[in-house]
Every structure is written in structure tokens, then in C-alpha cells.
């Protein structure tokens, strides 16, 4: 086992896959000479050259379209979005091209590409750099959506995403890049369609993903001291949702809280709750509770920014309130 930073875990995954498969290449703004805005591609330019670590102009729609074309020819592009919010400029290429071409071509083309980069609410990065694009793309057919949350799952999931024959949106949180974790020395891959039971418990199921996994675990420390026993699920796969894992937990606890950094309206939490009500309504002892960010652009002011997103103390309060409910 070797202690590895989150961004280095991503770098290792890309390096290993590029060494294994010559069809894998990286493109994006400042990925080459500069090594990526968060150093995920540091030094790979020297190792693989400018045709496989490709610096692009500031033109997200153009280089995303180029990557789709490359994927159609059998290459495996990895797009780095300097900030995932900028990929709104490539929404057409991601939705109308990457997501649909395998279907509209009658299966004649595969689109094996990964679109990855930093997103989420940072620390005083302002509204345009604090985007949560998973909510924008969840309705697009043909895409897989993954949100990594630890160095271990970041590496294993990214390797699997690169090998997948479908377009994968791979969301990393800007505030998790300096997390450290011991990683296995040997190669490992993790499934793109499975949630992780982070903590087993019996009182209530807390469903979360990305950075909120760590807010939930902070809350759990307080809850344990108060005698509560929550189960924690990290969704990881936002599309498709892993309802085998979700369902098994709800059949045990019968109470659910969804914690997300996404905005409340039409967010991931809204889809999770609708799906739970469709499939598992009779298992619920109380309505599902949703803890989400406020529906406003993220303020630059640090105090206001904190107020827009869910904090551990709010999770503690929600668990206490829900567990107190008796049927």
C-alpha cells in the first residue's frame, strides 16, 4: 500500500491506461506543458509526447467535437475540463453527439470517451466556477455519469471509465484533490454502476455522493456519540443508479435522507427520491428527506457560500428528527 494524493491517483490511472493502450490520449486546456490546472497530467507530456497529451485552444465545443470524432474512429480520448462549468460550452457536442451517435448510427459507432475535471462548490471560486453539472446532464440519454469521492475510488473508477465503450462523464470535486489514502500496489478496477456502502447501520439510510460523503461522515462521528446508528451509501454512479444497493439498505432501515451539494430543484436528489417512491414506497416509514444546496448562484463571500450548501450539523439535526419519528 502506498499513500497517494487524490490528484495523483487520477494521474496514475491515466498513466497506466496510456501505457497499456496506445489508443488512449488526453486533450484539453493546459494539459501538456503546464501539466493540468490541478496537476493531474503533470509530466505526462514528456513521457507520451504532444500527439497523446494534446494542448488545445480555449474552445470547448471544438475540441469536444474533435474528441467525439476521434472516438468514432477507435481512439479513446480523455477530455480534461479545466473547470467543469466551462463544458456548458460543449453541451451540444456532449448531448447531441457523444450521447446519441451510438444509437443514431444503429450501433455502427462506439463512443469510448471520458470527460473529466474539477467541479462542485470550491472555496470562494464564485458562481461560474462552482457548478454542479451532474444535474444538467442526468437527463441526457446515452451518457454514464460517475462522481468519485476518495483517492481509491478515483483511480479504480477512472481506469474503468477509460476502458468503457460509452461516453462517461467523470466528476471530481475541486476540494478533494489533496485528500490522501493508501492505495493498493497492484492494479485494480472498480465498477462504474455500483454504489458503495460506506458504513452499515440500522436507524436510517443516508444517501450521498462526492464531497458530501465527507460531510456525512463528519456528521456520523457526532451521531455515533449520541447513540445513533446510520447507514451511509455513496452513490458513485449517478447514472445509472444502483438500486440493488439502495433497495437493500432501505428494506433494512425504512428511513432515508438524501444529502447532496447539487441544487434542490431537479437535482440528483430529486431523481433519487422519485425513483425510491416509484420502487420502494411501501418500504418507507416516513417521507424521504432531501438536504440540498439552495437554488441560487454560489456567492463569492465565504460566509454566504457556506450557507448555500449543506453542513454536517444540518445532517445531524435531520437524522435526529427522522429517527425520532415513530410509525
As given in the structure block, the three cell numbers for residue 304 are: 454566504
- Spatial contact of 149 and 211, defined as CB atoms under 8 Å apart: yes
Catalytic-labelled residue, pool 12, 17, 29, 60: 60
Distance separating alpha carbons of residues 50 and 33, to the nearest angstrom: 9
Catalytic-labelled residue, pool 12, 17, 80, 129: 129
Distance separating alpha carbons of residues 27 and 29, to the nearest angstrom: 7
- Spatial contact of 144 and 192, defined as CB atoms under 8 Å apart: yes
Q: Which positions ≥6 away from 157 have C-beta within 8 Å? A: 146, 148, 170, 190, 192, 236
- Spatial contact of 284 and 253, defined as CB atoms under 8 Å apart: no
Name the phi and psi angles at 261, rounded to 5: -90, -15
Select from 75, 24, 71, 65 the least CA-distant residue to 48.
24
Q: Which positions ≥6 away from 71 have C-beta within 8 Å? A: 77, 98, 109, 110, 111, 112, 113, 167
129 is catalytic: yes
DSSP structure string for 281-303: GGG-SSPPEEEEE-SSPPPSSHH
Catalytically active residues are 60, 129
Amino acid at each position: 500500500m502506498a499513500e497517494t494524493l487524490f490528484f495523483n491517483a487520477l494521474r496514475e490511472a491515466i498513466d497506466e491506461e496510456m501505457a497499456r493502450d496506445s489508443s488512449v490520449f488526453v486533450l484539453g486546456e493546459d494539459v501538456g506543458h503546464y501539466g493540468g490546472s490541478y496537476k493531474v497530467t503533470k509530466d505526462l507530456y514528456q513521457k507520451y509526447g504532444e500527439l497523446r497529451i494534446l494542448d488545445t485552444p480555449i474552445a470547448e465545443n471544438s475540441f469536444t467535437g474533435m474528441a467525439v470524432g476521434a472516438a468514432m474512429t477507435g481512439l479513446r480520448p480523455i477530455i480534461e475540463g479545466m473547470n467543469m462549468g466551462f463544458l456548458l460550452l460543449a453541451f451540444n457536442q456532449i448531448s447531441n453527439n457523444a450521447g446519441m451517435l451510438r444509437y443514431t448510427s444503429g450501433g455502427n459507432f462506439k463512443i469510448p470517451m471520458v470527460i473529466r475535471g474539477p467541479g462542485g462548490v470550491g472555496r470562494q471560486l464564485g458562481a461560474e466556477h462552482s457548478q454542479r453539472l451532474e444535474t444538467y446532464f442526468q437527463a441526457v440519454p446515452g451518457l454514464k455519469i460517475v462522481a468519485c469521492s476518495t483517492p481509491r475510488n478515483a483511480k479504480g473508477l477512472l481506469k474503468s471509465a477509460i476502458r468503457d465503450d460509452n461516453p462517461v462523464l467523470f466528476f471530481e470535486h475541486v476540494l478533494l484533490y489533496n485528500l490522501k489514502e493508501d492505495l493498493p500496489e497492484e492494479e485494480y478496477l472498480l465498477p462504474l454502476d455500483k454504489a458503495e456502502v460506506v458504513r452499515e447501520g440500522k436507524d436510517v439510510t443516508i444517501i450521498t455522493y462526492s464531497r458530501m460523503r465527507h460531510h456525512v461522515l463528519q456528521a456520523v462521528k457526532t451521531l455515533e456519540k449520541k447513540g445513533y446508528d446510520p447507514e451511509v451509501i455513496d452513490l458513485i454512479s449517478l447514472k445509472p443508479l444502483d438500486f440493488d444497493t439502495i433497495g437493500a439498505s432501505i428494506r433494512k432501515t425504512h428511513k432515508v435522507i438524501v444529502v447532496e451539494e447539487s441544487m434542490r430543484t431537479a437535482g440528483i436528489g430529486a431523481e433519487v427520491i422519485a425513483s425510491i417512491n416509484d420502487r420502494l414506497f411501501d418500504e418507507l416509514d416516513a417521507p424521504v428527506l432531501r438536504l440540498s444546496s439552495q437554488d441560487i448562484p454560489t456567492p463569492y463571500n465565504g460566509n454566504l457560500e457556506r450557507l448555500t450548501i449543506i453542513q454536517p450539523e444540518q445532517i445531524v439535526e435531520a437524522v435526529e428528527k427522522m429517527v425520532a419519528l415513530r410509525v
